[in-house]
Amino acid sequence: MSEQIEYTKIFSRPESLKDNPTHYCPGCGHSVAHRLVAECLDELGLRETTIGVPPVGCAVLAYNYFNFDMVEAPHGRALAVATGIKRVHPDKLVLTYQGDGDLAAIGTAETIHAANRGERITTIFINNAIYGMTGGQMAPTTVLGQNATTAPGGRDPRLHGRPIDISRMLAVSDGVVFVERCSLSSFKQIRKAKKAIKKAFQCQLDDLGFSLVELLSPCPTNWKMTPKAAWDWVTNEMVKTYPLGVIKDTTGYEDKK
Give me the residues that bind other proteins (CB under 8 A), please. Answer: 3, 5-13, 17, 21-22, 24-32, 35, 47-51, 53, 60, 63-64, 66-74, 77, 80-89, 92, 109-110, 112-113, 117, 186-187, 190-191, 220, 227-228, 231
Closest distance to other proteins from the beta carbon of 52 (Å): 9
Task: Return d(Cα 117, Cα 80) in angstroms, integer.
Answer: 11
CB of 40 to other proteins, least distance (A): 14
CA dist., res. 119 & res. 210, Å (int): 5
Contacts of 95 (CB under 8 A, 6+ apart): 37, 50, 51, 52, 53, 82, 121, 122, 123, 124, 201
Q: State phi, psi for 16 to the nearest 5 degrees.
A: -75, 5
Contacts of 116 by beta carbon, 8 Å cutoff, 6+ apart: 173, 175, 176, 210
Our CB check for other proteins shows the closer of 58 and 151 to be: 58
Q: Cβ contacts of residue 75 below 8 Å, gap of 6+?
A: 55, 56, 101, 102, 106, 107
Q: What is the distance between the terminal CA atoms of the chain, rounded to a whole angstrom?
A: 42
Residue type, 93: L
Choose between 22 and 167: whose C-beta lies nearer to other proteins: 22
Shortest separation between residue 66's beta carbon and other proteins, angstroms: 8
Cβ closer to other proteins: 61 or 144?
Answer: 61
Least CB distance to other proteins at residue 123 (A): 14
Nearest distance in Å: CB 37, other proteins: 13
Closest to other proteins by CB, 163 vs 218, is 218
Taking each helix axis from N to C terminus, what angle separates 108-116 and 78-88, rounded to the nearest 10 degrees?
40
Instruction: Give me the least distance between CB of 86 and other proteins, in Å please.
Output: 8
**Which amino acid does the sequence have at 114?**
A
* Angstrom distance (rounded) from CA 123 to CA 77: 12
Specify the residue, 26 or 157, whose C-beta has the smaller distance to other proteins: 26
The residue among 5 and 158 lying less far from other proteins, judged by its C-beta, is: 5
Contact 145, 180 (CB under 8 A): no
50 vs 211 by CB, closer to other proteins = 50
* CA-derived radius of gyration, the chain: 18
Around Cβ 169, how many Cβ atoms within 10 Å?
A: 17
| Shortest distance in whole angstroms from residue 93 CB to other proteins | 8
